[in-house]
Structure 1
Amino acid sequence: MKNKNWIIWVVVAVVIVVIGWFSFGHSSQTSSKTVTVGVVGQTSQDEAIWKEIAKVAKDKYGVTVKLKNFSDYNQPNKALQNGDVDLNAFQHQAFLDAWNKANKGTLVSIGKTFITPIHLYSKKVTDVKDLPDGATIAVPNDASNESRALFLLKNAGLITLKTSAGSLATVKDIQDNPKNLKIKEVAAEQTARTLDDVDAAVVNTNYAVAAKLPDSKIIYTEPVNKDSEQWINLIAAKKSDANKEAYKDVVKAYHTSQVKKVIQKEYGNKEIPAWDLKLK
């Protein structure tokens, strides 16, 4: 009788463990396979790219990718740091470094995505050399994108920067300004809207696409070379989560030939896949 009771209790214990696994362990495993990614200002082109990423992630790795769209660059890193999203994909390394420094953040890159050469647009002149003395040029006002815009103006031959400027230049680092250009600092998402009121504006590609700025209004394009490493966009995670398998799977889903083809189809040469890019 004792042996029979012992066997019954063993069977009951096994049943409880199995039920517990399905009720808790299995559901936890399933929920961990859903990854929410914060993005900014989604265009139809971006939606097509992420649709392909989500398809690859689901088909190949069993990961469900969901997007949370933000209206500007100030929000998605806060959301990631606070745990409101699992990953984000909207920024380059310079922006991430600046944000971590300013906010004591613990966000890290877990994979490169693309690089988007930024452009100087104008509705008033067709060549950068034709910008008049005293011209007003709008640039993004966040630290990393403002620096990038100033380096673009430097490469265009419009200004020179102090050698001490480093990777985060500000208007105070302008050394020579032979045309006495006036630099107007505005929010990145507003740069395209200023073009009716300024002589030229440095506009990030996603905002240029959203504003439907034609290529005919581009008067200078940022060169892509070995100095461009800091401008490569990335997928970010909290440092404590950087090795999560599902997050790595999202990166692997991004780094595929299928996704590269969609990027090239949607953006042509405006957006360059960078995970295997050789910079010279």
Structure 2
Amino acid sequence: MIKKSRNIIIGVIAAIVIIAIAWFSFGKKGDSNQKNHVVTVGIVSESKPKEVIWDHAAALAKKKYGITIKIKNFTDYNQPNKAVKSGDIDLNAFQHYAFLKAWNKANHGGLVAIGRTDINPIRLYSKKYHKLSELPKGATIAVPNDASNESRSLLVLKNAGLISLRKGKALVTVADIVKNPKNIKVKEISADQCGRVINSVDAAVINNDFARPAGLGEKQTIFVEPVNKDSYQWINIIVAKKDQAKNKDYQAVVKCYQTAETKRIQKKYYGNMTRSAWDIKLK
């Protein structure tokens, strides 16, 4: 009788141990995966095209991988990288390689690109003039004041033949203007304000995120940035923390963005203003 009772007790203990092992091996893993299946992506200046693209990516991610994509909109370029680094969001999709490189340098790194999205040739817009040749001497042109976008904008002015820049620098500033035959006045302001001041300046170089909300398009364009082998640094990317670069859920989000349907939506809403960049060949 005693032996039988002892066997029963041993059996009960063994069952409890097996259940406990199963819980820690599968139960907690399941909880962890469930949490990881919600991925928050930060974007800047939410617009109808972006909403449609990310709705498509979210639907595909849910259907194919069981991942819920949540979008968090930011109003300017200063916030999304900080949010990824602090862990407030998982990914962001608003910047190009050059912006990320400059941000990492200024903020002690920590972020990496895990996939490409698109490339958006930026434009010089004007509501006062219809042609580049109409810009008068002493014209005021607004440009974004963050390091990478200011450099890009000055290169636009250079390619437009308005200024010449000092050679051999990765990023240029107004101090690197070496020739300015029209005595162009460059006004440095926040990127999100460039579209808003279009009526008070002669022209402005404006990122696409802010051009559309400002009602600017082909009609107000007086020069378009060329796309060539030098454009690599302007390719837009999806960004994560460095130690999360191989996260399977994050990689799945990239795959759900990089689809033929995304290309179709881009073409529908942006025409030639945007090109998909994950398979682009720059010459």
- TM-score relative to the length of structure 1: 0.96
Match of 1:32 among 32, 36, 44: 36
Match of 1:232 among 228, 231, 235: 235
Structure 2: stretches of 5+ with no match in the other structure: none
CA distance in 2, matches of 1:20, 1:161: 62
| Corresponding position of 1:219 | 222
Match of 2:253 among 247, 250, 255: 250
Asked if 1:262 is matched to 2:269, the reply is no
CA distance in 2, matches of 1:82, 1:229: 28
| Corresponding position of 1:122 | 126
Matches for 1:146-225 after TM superposition, within 5 Å: 146-164=150-168, 166-225=169-228
Alignment length (residue pairs): 279
Say which SS state the counterpart of residue 172 (structure 2) adopts. coil
Deviations 1:193-240 (A, max 9, x none): 111111100011110111121320100000111000000000011111
- TM-score relative to the length of structure 2: 0.95
CA distance in 2, matches of 1:23, 1:55: 27
What amino acid maps onto 2:130 in structure 1?
Answer: T
Q: CA deviation at 1:13?
A: 2.1
Q: CA deviation at 1:117?
A: 0.6
What amino acid maps onto 2:239 in structure 1?
Answer: A
Say which SS state the counterpart of residue 193 (structure 1) adopts. coil
Question: Which entry has the higher C-alpha Rg, 1 or 2?
Answer: 2
| Corresponding position of 1:59 | 63
What amino acid maps onto 2:129 in structure 1?
Answer: V
| Corresponding position of 2:116 | 112
What amino acid maps onto 1:188 in structure 2?
Answer: A
Deviations 1:80-113 (A, max 9, x none): 1111111111000000000011111211101111
Say which SS state the counterpart of residue 12 (structure 1) adopts. helix
Q: Percent identity over the alignment?
A: 52
What amino acid maps onto 1:119 in structure 2?
Answer: R
Superposition RMSD on alpha carbons, in Å? 1.3
Larger displacement relative to structure 2 (3-12 or 32-41) = 3-12
Structure 1: stretches of 5+ with no match in the other structure: none
CA distance in 1, matches of 2:164, 2:259: 40
What amino acid maps onto 2:254 in structure 1?
Answer: V
Q: CA deviation at 1:19?
A: 4.5
